[in-house]
Amino acid sequence: MAALNVASVNVRPPCPPSCPNTRYQIRHLRWITPCQSTHLPALFKQVARWSALAFGVFYGYSRQRSLTLHVKEQNEEKEFRAYADLVEEAKIAFEAAYNREQAVKAAPYGS
């Protein structure tokens, strides 16, 4: 069996050449670059930003939809009230005309 190289287990990749942090420091008894220790928080920031963006888009879409539906319901209710008012006016006009015809029919001819 080949011996397992302990140095190759759980080793982070080297810092990229474009890393502005060139200092080295000891952490947990091994040398790491500050860039390697900050990759996880940077990744968390990136995930948090994209999550906030996705949440904002979802919230904006749902809010716009609810407002649009609310306005649509108000317009439908307004149209229904206008239609109901017209029906009531027509009923009143019909009753007045019908009662007048009944009054003319019931009246004697000479009066």
For the segment 41-85, what is each residue's pLDDT rounded down to a tens digit?
777 888 899 999 999 999 999 999 999 999 999 999 999 999 999
On whether residue 89 sits in a domain, the answer given is yes
Structure confidence at residue 26 (pLDDT) = 41
**Residue-range definition of the domain harbouring residue 106:** 62-111
DSSP state of 2: P
On whether residue 55 sits in a domain, the answer given is no
Q: Contacts for 11-20 with beta carbons within 8 Å, 24 or more apart?
A: 12/36
pTM confidence score: 0.46
User: In the structure, what pLDDT confidence band is assigned to residue 99 with cuts at 50, 70 and 90?
Assistant: confident
On whether residue 42 sits in a domain, the answer given is no
On whether residue 27 sits in a domain, the answer given is no
For the segment 6-15, what is each residue's pLDDT rounded down to a tens digit?
555 555 555 5
Chain centroid to CA 21: how far?
Answer: 41
On whether residue 72 sits in a domain, the answer given is yes
- When divided into structural domains, the chain yields a total of 1
DSSP state of 110: T
On whether residue 53 sits in a domain, the answer given is no
On whether residue 29 sits in a domain, the answer given is no
* Interstrand relation of 30-32 and 25-27 (parallel, antiparallel or unpaired): antiparallel
* Residues contacting 70, CB < 8 A, separation 6+: none
On whether residue 86 sits in a domain, the answer given is yes
